[in-house]
Amino acid sequence: MSTSSADVLICGAGPAGLVLGNILRAEGIRCLIVERQSRAHVESRTRAGFLAANSVRILSENGLAEGLHTNGQHHDTCVFRGDHGEFELKYSGLGRGEIHTVYPQQDLVRDLIAEFLNRGGEIRFATEVQEIDPHDAALLLADGSRLTGRFVAGCDGQRGVSRQAVPAQVYHWDHGISWFALLAQAPPSMAAVMYAIHPNGFAGHMARTATITRYYLQVPPGFDPDAWSDKEIWDELHVRMRADQHGELRTGPFVERRVVDMTSHVMDPIQHGTLFLAGDAASLISPSAAKGANLALMAAEVLARALATQINLGDAQPLIRYSAEVLPRIWRAQEFSHWMIDLLHGPFGNDSDSVFLRSLQRARLESLRDSRAHQDFFAENYIGV
């Protein structure tokens, strides 16, 4: 059975798909979002929380930032801690003078879903797409039905079906590093983002709300997230963050544990026929520099404007140039993420190569501590996309 459903069919109700859908609805364009998971699952899924200045602009200019402006928290400082001691970078006074706004992704997604429905959009939750026809702008659903439109936006992540329908070169890099991602039911232990470098491995602290804090611990690839008790995790966080020197951490139970492998991949091109990719479907980036959600919103805005120009004005050129417009920004973010990985993770061992690379790592940190030019470079790329 075939149903002509909308001008734009959107796979995925994450930040990319929802921002895209909201902008299109504001332009009077019919669009339908198809999401594999339930609404409850999507609205409770904890992911990124750091929104860059450009992401806040996109949300604000498109009437999608009421919750963000009411409940978001401004962050403009990060701290690097290691055997060199500790130094702080207040990046609001560096580079372009921009800041992060911390707003948990699940809260943003709830806002975006409510606004999309308020604008007359339709979302089909718990609906699995099995196949995409990029030539006829059609979705084949698991129940055997077929949805058709004029264009398809693939915003269904790295494991979705959208990216499989684009014949593209996939550039992949495995950094050989894994993070134990933890969500603690505990107040932040400091106002700043903390990057701790230790012989045992990297540790990170990122505030989410007044009662929830994100922590990261570098672990070996293949690490079992249930291998350590809460006490063992807090003990290791205290060691790596040198709490005996800089102050105890505020503890509480861990409400989420998962292991994130540091991998990156980019598809080129990110369009084929009537199908256009955005978010993790187009590129996966390591969380080392908090770029994933911000890249998703950037691509969603570019794609929305291009689709609106085609549908409402009949000008196809912005859609034709979509890959050429978005991919350079993706690669720039990938480069900075890779730079951050090298900055935060030194090799283990006392062989000559490991000592050499750790010495380079320390030199990078000292340059970041002492050089204003280096600090301006960091701030511009840390916030920018």
Nearest to 77 by CA among 244, 243, 252, 205: 205
Active site residue 69: no
Residue 323 in contact with residue 276, Cβ under 8 Å? no
Q: Helix, strand or coil for residue 161?
A: coil
Active site residue 287: yes
Q: DSSP letter at 120?
A: T
The Cβ-side half-sphere exposure at 83, using a 13 Å CA radius, reads 10
What angle do the packed helices 352-370 and 322-344 form, to 10 degrees? 110
What order of strands is seen across the sheet that includes strand 275-277?
122-124, 31-34, 8-11, 151-154, 275-277, 271-272
Is the sign of the CA dihedral 182, 345, 176, 77 positive or negative?
positive
* Active-site annotation holder among 91, 195, 215, 322: 195
Of the residues 272, 291, 338, 345, only one is catalytic, namely: 291
Rounded to a whole number, what is the distance in angstroms from the first to the last CA of the chain? 42
Give 3-state DSSP helix, strand, coil % of the chain, rounded to 5. Answer: 40, 25, 35
To the query of whether residue 75 is one of the catalytic residues in this protein, the response is: yes
The single residue of 103, 104, 287, 338 carrying the catalytic annotation is 287
Residue 324 CB neighbour total at 10 angstroms:
10
172 is an active site residue: no
From the candidates 75, 100, 205, 272, which is the catalytic residue? 75
Which tokens hold the place of 224? 């079992």
State yes or no: is 231 an active-site residue: no
Q: Is 222 exposed, middle or buried (0-12, 13-18, 19+ CB in 10 A)?
A: exposed
The catalytic residues are 75, 195, 287, 291, 382
